[in-house]
Amino acid sequence: MTADNARPSRVGDPLPISLVAHQVFCPRRAWIEAAGERTDSYQMAVGTALHGSTDDPATARPSNLRPVDVVDEDLGIVGRCDTVEVGPGGALTVVEYKATPVRREPEVTEPLRIQLALQVAALRSMGHSVDGQAVYFVNHRLRVPVVLGADDVEAARLAVAATRATVDAPTAPAPLEDDPRCRSCSHAGVCLPEERAEAPVGRRIVVADPDSQVVHLATAGSRASIRAGRILVHAGGEEIASLPIERVQGLVVHGNVDLSGALIREILWRSLTIVWCTGTGRVVGWCVPGSGPNGAARVQQHVASVAGRLDLAREFVGAKIANQATLLRRNGDAANAVAVMRQLQRRAAAAQTMTELLGLEGEAAANYFAAFPTMLSARSRALGFEFRVRSGRPAGDAINAALNYVYGILLGDVIRAVVACGLDPHAGYLHSANRNKPALALDLCEELRAPVADSVVLGAINNGELAPGDFTSVLGTTRLRENGRKVLIAAYERRVQGTFRHPVFDYQVTWRRAMEVQARMVLGVLDGSQARYAGIRVR
């Protein structure tokens, strides 16, 4: 998309004052906010709680108005003042509340001055007299009066114009480089400033929600509902699980499990995702929040998917072959197959057509699965586990049934990561959309299959967690029993919550977080802020 055919915001669309403040802090942050990304931080959580208390008329003194909605049609802005104090003569003082951590100096920053200047300008344009403004630092219990001059008013006008230009630009502004602002930025987890530079990350930027988890509902016949902020799971009249919804970053429903309408609504309200799978791990669907971010990038994703992106496809295949070869080298006895796969990996990086690339991927898969039995332990073979040929659904043996199941869980997890970025799981670059499958999610799964899914299955079989009795066979097809599914879900969760050193960015990251980092790299390529996609290649 070029600047000429980009669709600017409509003249009548007012800009939120908070968006202008983001622009003054960092134009990229304004872009991210305008794209609808949800971010989370300590300050924002405290701020939300504060707004909750200021929104309660019962706790407001008569001389304090809280909150107050403001608009300035000439400037084209709307906003909300935390508190407006009414003086004896009727003149107003605007007070902004700020939750700066106590360890930091309370400071009236430039974005705060601009925010106050715009709130005052809006109140004046509405016919009110304003004779003061201040910032109240809640954690420090400190009120700091702010004096605004003509310079601030002019700076605020320029900031509004700059914000409109940022929001209307066809591509995202580049991230700041080695800038202290990024260290305290609530948007670092979705902006990924150092990852965008594709350099080893020297100073780790802490991202949001490190403690939240994906919840798997896998007990057949159970029902999950929500009450008093907790997800409750009942089966046979008993409560079998209970956890706070704040700790949840997504739900995966396996087989015959019922969800209450209130729980589904709450999950969507929180912009989270639910993925439904069959008892064999096949993903049957998911729900997407209506307010997903990055609508413009999603359009670019579809355009690029139709046009084709061989560069992305090469990376997906190259990283997949590299990781298969590494797993084989570490756990198997197949030096020849590993050597052949390393050659195929190099040829994939230089493939000139999709047909050539898909041929190389198929050749590598044939080598990998031919050598797969060498990764089984003597103990597992003695128990009767064997692997002859890779088969999808229906599975021809226990190992294929386990692989199919974990591939399904992995796909559900990657779909959740893709949806969290606002991308469409269906528009991909390696897999075809013609098969009506979630092509982009399948693309991103490729580099994760060996180090996550295959590794989980091999571990569960080789260390005896899975036994032949965890499977059932009917007329030559094999399925997992409920206990086998639970063993694999637990092993999968241990794996994706474990950390590894990201080979491109050189920091410790969980496999689950890495799924979103990789999806956000695709997003960066699409919105113009990432030069290229780099797949994970484990060493």
By the rule CB under 6 A, 191 interacts with ligand SF4: yes
Nearest distance from C-beta of residue 19 to ligand SF4, angstroms = 13
> In the set 188, 215, 357, 401, which binds ligand SF4 (CB under 6 A)?
188
Residue in 168, 170, 172, 204 with CA at minimum distance from that of residue 189: 204
407/303 Cα distance (integer angstroms): 28
> In the set 60, 176, 232, 264, which binds ligand SF4 (CB under 6 A)?
176
Nearest distance from C-beta of residue 124 to ligand SF4, angstroms = 31
Task: Please list the residues that pair with 132 across neighbouring strands.
Answer: 93
Name which of residues 32 to 51 contact ligand SF4 (CB under 6 A): 32
Instruction: Between 60 and 176, name the residue whose CB sits nearer to ligand SF4.
Output: 176
Name which of residues 279 to 338 contact ligand SF4 (CB under 6 A): none
155/494 Cα distance (integer angstroms): 52
417/419 Cα distance (integer angstroms): 6
Under 8 Å CB-to-CB from 223, ≥6 apart: which residues? 233, 234, 235, 257, 258, 259, 260
Let me know: does 101 contact 42? Beta carbons within 8 Å.
Answer: yes
Nearest distance from C-beta of residue 194 to ligand SF4, angstroms = 9
Instruction: Between 189 and 438, name the residue whose CB sits nearer to ligand SF4.
Output: 189
357/176 Cα distance (integer angstroms): 36
Instruction: Between 24 and 341, name the residue whose CB sits nearer to ligand SF4.
Output: 24
Where do runs of H (alpha helix) occur along 434-481? 439-448, 455-462
Let me know: does 444 contact 519? Beta carbons within 8 Å.
Answer: yes
By the rule CB under 6 A, 520 interacts with ligand SF4: no
54/48 Cα distance (integer angstroms): 10
Nearest distance from C-beta of residue 174 to ligand SF4, angstroms = 8
By the rule CB under 6 A, 181 interacts with ligand SF4: yes
By the rule CB under 6 A, 7 interacts with ligand SF4: no
36/289 Cα distance (integer angstroms): 12
Say which amino acid occupies 483.
N
By the rule CB under 6 A, 182 interacts with ligand SF4: yes
Q: Which helix (H) or strand (E) holds 325?
A: helix 310-331
Q: Which stretch binds ligand SF4 (CB under 6 A): 141-149, 174-182, 315-323, 367-375?
A: 174-182
Instruction: Between 193 and 484, name the residue whose CB sits nearer to ligand SF4.
Output: 193
Nearest distance from C-beta of residue 108 to ligand SF4, angstroms = 19
Nearest distance from C-beta of residue 186 to ligand SF4, angstroms = 8
Q: Which two tokens stand for residue 466?
A: 């899975």
Nearest distance from C-beta of residue 22 to ligand SF4, angstroms = 8
Q: Which two tokens stand for residue 43?
A: 């300050």
Instruction: Between 106 and 173, name the residue whose CB sits nearer to ligand SF4.
Output: 173
The residues that touch ligand SF4, with contacts defined as CB under 6 A, are: 26, 28-29, 32, 175-176, 181-182, 185, 187-188, 191, 193
